[in-house]
Amino acid sequence: MNKKLIWTLVFVLVASLILVSVVSAKSKLVKLEVVNKTDQSVFLSLTGTNFYYLAVAPGKTKTFTVEREIYTRTTYSCDKSESGTVDITHQLRLVFTSCYNDAPNWGAPSLEKVHINDSPKGVYWYYQR
């Protein structure tokens, strides 16, 4: 076999291994965006393989990077708390609405409006009670 051909095959093999490892490492993480439209801080406690405690100040938006997983969660908002699950296996945006009015609608799956007493329900929603 030609040396040039062997070196080309080795290069392609090494490049493929590096590409596969980089892609798989990046795919373990996902973005979680939390929009706080309340007049108080919002706190999310996520428990799964890892533990995250996320805080967002009133009127602010924060983007977090977490591992893809379905978490058991406790949410603290508007002087209340609620527990349930949240599926963060896909990019997710949670919009916490005003403490004094119900959410006008639930948004859409992956862009979900959350009011502590009126969070979305059903199989298509990632944030669940």
Taking the CA of residue 80 as centre, how many other CA atoms within 13 Å lie in the half-sphere pointing to its CB? 13
Q: Is the pLDDT of residue 24 over 60?
A: no
Q: How far apart are CA 120 and CA 129, in angstroms?
A: 8
Q: For position 27, what pLDDT does the model report?
A: 64
Rounded to 5 degrees, φ, ψ at 125 are: -100, 140
Rounded to 5 degrees, φ, ψ at 17 are: -65, -40
Q: What is 50-88 written as a DSSP string? A: SEEEEEE-TT-EEEEEEESEEEEEEEEETTEEEEEEEEE
pLDDT tier, 1 (very low <50, low <70, confident <90, very high otherwise): low
CATH class, 29-128 region: mainly beta
Q: How far apart are CA 49 and CA 13, in angstroms?
A: 33
Would you kindly state where each structural domain of the chain is located, as residue ranges?
A: 29-128
Q: How far apart are CA 106 and CA 114, in angstroms?
A: 7
Task: Return the number of other C-beta atoms located less than 10 Å from residue 22's C-beta.
Answer: 10
Nearest to 122 by CA among 92, 73, 84, 89: 84
List, in sequence order, every residue forming a beta bridge with 86; answer none if it has no partner. 71, 127
Per residue in 45-93, pLDDT (tens digit) is 999 999 999 999 999 999 999 999 999 999 999 888 888 898 999 899 9
Q: For position 35, what pLDDT does the model report?
A: 94
